[in-house]
């Protein structure tokens, strides 16, 4: 199916038709784990969708935190978006070089800042390129634009809130990591972290939500994946992963399904697995 919802997912056809719209802004939000051996900024400079700006997830973040790429303070987000020529009245479409990996995290960041006119490109840059669509290596022409932000605090959870949710079982806690990492049988890629998962959480590996071409499965198929994993979709949801990036793929899928009450545990396993006083479960959910 082709998604054409400018608040969640849009197809490559949709973006191609709207690429020249004066108030459309496109963002390349590519980000990779260090062992991927890929440089997202260098790849952007080599080829990107015409007019796209580069969003550096590691820099547009709360650098006061010891945890990686935590959500940026409001003032920093506003400053960086104005410098990128993105502001009020713009519709934003976000993509990444993996298909659907880091773009949903930036979609969630915009929503955290109260911006709803923002969507992810379904299938991302790989699908755009496979279809032979236009790319360029030129930097965009940027004009400063005012941005107003209203932070939506309910869209993010901290470790204290997640610990309470784990104990009370009043939220569905959903982990986007691989089954091996969730079960504790595979080591964590970051040294010093315990292996396992938050007690009471369920495992929905983000790849299970995607088709072979990196596009999102249909709402009915998405629902079936969550239900097969034992997720109670009647509860509000908290998503988690390694560092809060791929967790947002789950949030995007939930939103597409019509499940509106969901948040990201921003510290995710990098934070939870660090503290010996927090309980850890192992094995399948």
Question: Helix, strand, coil shares of the chain as percentages rounded to 5?
Answer: 30, 15, 55
Residue corresponding to tokens 């315990």: 194
Phi-psi category of 198—alpha, beta or left, where left has phi over 0 and alpha has psi -120 to 50?
Answer: beta
Containing 222, the helix (H) or strand (E) segment is helix 219-228
Question: Exactly one of 61, 103, 241, 250 is catalytic; which is it?
Answer: 241
CA distance 12 to 252: 17
CA distance 217 to 222: 6
Check if the beta carbon of residue 202 is closer than 8 Å to that of residue 209: no
Q: Residue 60 CA to chain centroid, in angstroms?
A: 14
DSSP E strand boundaries for the chain: 9-10, 24-28, 53-54, 91-95, 118-121, 156-157, 172-175, 202-203, 237-240, 262-265
Check if the beta carbon of residue 95 is closer than 8 Å to that of residue 26: yes
Residue 176 has which token pair? 């986007």
Active-site residue, 153 included: no
Bridge partners, 93 (sequence order): 26, 119
φ, ψ of residue 28 to 5 degrees: the values are: -95, 110
User: DSSP assignment of 17-32, as one string?
Assistant: HHTT-TTEEEEE----
Q: Residue 74 CA to chain centroid, in angstroms?
A: 18
Active-site residues, by number, are 241
């Amino acid at each position: 199916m082709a998604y054409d919802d400018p608040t969640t997912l849009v197809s490559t056809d949709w973006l191609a038709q709207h690429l020249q719209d004066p108030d459309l802004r496109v963002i390349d939000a590519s980000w990779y784990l260090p062992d991927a051996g890929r440089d997202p900024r260098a790849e952007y400079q080599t080829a990107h969708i015409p007019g796209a700006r580069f969003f550096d997830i590691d820099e547009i973040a709360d650098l006061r935190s010891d945890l990686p790429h935590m959500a940026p303070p409001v003032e920093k987000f506003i400053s960086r978006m104005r410098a990128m020529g993105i502001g009020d009245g713009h519709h934003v479409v976000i993509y990444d070089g993996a298909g659907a990996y880091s773009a949903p995290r930036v979609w969630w960041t915009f929503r955290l800042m109260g911006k709803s006119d923002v969507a992810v490109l379904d299938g991302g840059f790989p699908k755009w390129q496979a279809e032979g669509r236009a790319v360029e290596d030129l930097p965009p022409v940027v004009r400063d634009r005012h941005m107003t932000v209203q932070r939506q605090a309910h869209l993010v959870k901290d470790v204290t809130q997640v610990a309470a949710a784990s104990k009370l079982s009043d939220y569905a806690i959903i982990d986007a990591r691989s089954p091996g990492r969730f079960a504790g049988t595979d080591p964590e890629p970051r040294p010093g972290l315990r292996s396992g998962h938050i007690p009471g959480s369920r495992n929905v590996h983000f790849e299970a939500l995607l088709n072979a071409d990196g596009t999102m499965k249909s709402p009915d198929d998405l629902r079936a994946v969550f239900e097969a994993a034992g997720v109670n979709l009647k509860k509000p949801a908290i998503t988690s992963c390694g560092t809060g990036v791929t967790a947002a793929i789950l949030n995007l899928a939930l939103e597409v399904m019509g499940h509106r009450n969901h948040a990201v545990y921003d510290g995710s396993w990098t934070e939870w697995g660090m503290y010996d006083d927090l309980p850890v479960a192992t094995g399948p959910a």
